[in-house]
Amino acid sequence: MKTRSIIDTEFVVRSIAETAIENEEAFCELDSVVGDGDFGYSLARGFEKVLEEWDVFDRTDSSIFLKSIAHTITSRIGGTSGPLWGTAFLRASTAVRGRDAVGGADVVAMLRAAIAGIKDRGKSDVGDKTLLDALVPATDALEVAVAQGSSFEKALDEAAKAARVAADATSSLQARRGRASYTGERSIGSPDAGAVAVAIILERLTVEARAR
């Protein structure tokens, strides 16, 4: 029988995958303003693969499940997204290695580990106009809400709101990593596609978590 934490983890990963696939065109459009327009395509192809292999992932515990997802993402997604998202899932998995139950504090720890992984792999940080610019403030908001004893749905909502504000604010930043960085000052004025994707994923997770 599946544990509660496996069911929760499955729910989150499936929601991310479906969001990525359904928003393929929107993410490509966002990326084509200053990037090269393939962000949505890469992400959708990779998460399609995740859903294709959905039934065969090892579900011994949440950590092992996430690790097998990370392997599929890393090995099948090209461009910058494969290494970055794959590393994020892998680091998140190691943050809860050997744990049966995954609570709010664990989710924060997983996100912190994922953020550290993305920083290492991409040699980037907050302010470089990447997905980190939404993911870090969202994690901060989630941590505060969890510490205040909010319900998970409420905490998720806070994270989504923080991600949206931060993603919109990337418009004023100059890109320092990825293809968009070559546009220099011309990257100012439109938001980062990765940061917006983080906001959209969290917003959808919030809606789906409420409906569960």
String of contacts with other proteins for each residue 41-70, x by CB under 8 A: xx--x-------------------------
| Of the candidate residues 9, 80, 170, 206, the single one contacting other proteins (CB under 8 A) | 80
CB of 40 to other proteins, least distance (A): 9
Distance from C-alpha of 169 to C-alpha of 162, rounded to nearest angstrom? 11
Q: Does 121 bind other proteins (CB under 8 A)?
A: yes
| Of the candidate residues 60, 78, 97, 172, the single one contacting other proteins (CB under 8 A) | 78
Distance from C-alpha of 40 to C-alpha of 163, rounded to nearest angstrom? 19
Read off the DSSP letter of residue 183: G
Q: Which two tokens stand for residue 41?
A: 């395509």
Q: How far apart are the first and last CA of the chain?
A: 20
Q: By the 8 A CB rule, do 47 and 24 touch?
A: no
Q: Which two tokens stand for residue 206?
A: 């919030």
| Of the candidate residues 181, 188, 207, 208, the single one contacting other proteins (CB under 8 A) | 181
Number of residues that bind other proteins (CB under 8 A): 34
Of 129-158, binders to other proteins (CB under 8 A) are none
| Of the candidate residues 61, 82, 108, 190, the single one contacting other proteins (CB under 8 A) | 82
Neighbour count for residue 106 (Cβ, 10 Å)? 17
Q: Does 20 bind other proteins (CB under 8 A)?
A: no
Max CA distance (Å), the chain: 54
Q: Does 174 bind other proteins (CB under 8 A)?
A: yes
Residue 210: burial class (beta carbons within 10 Å; 0-12, 13-18, 19+): exposed
Q: By the 8 A CB rule, do 175 and 191 touch?
A: no
The crossing angle, in degrees rounded to 10, of helices 4-22 and 24-34 is 60
- Residue number with CB closer to other proteins (55 or 185): 185
- Residue number with CB closer to other proteins (88 or 146): 88
Distance from C-alpha of 22 to C-alpha of 208, rounded to nearest angstrom? 15
CB of 113 to other proteins, least distance (A): 17
Q: Does 210 bind other proteins (CB under 8 A)?
A: no
Q: Does 172 bind other proteins (CB under 8 A)?
A: no
| Of the candidate residues 12, 61, 68, 86, the single one contacting other proteins (CB under 8 A) | 86
Residues that bind other proteins (CB under 8 A): 28, 32, 36-38, 41-42, 45, 74-84, 86, 121-123, 174-179, 181-184, 186
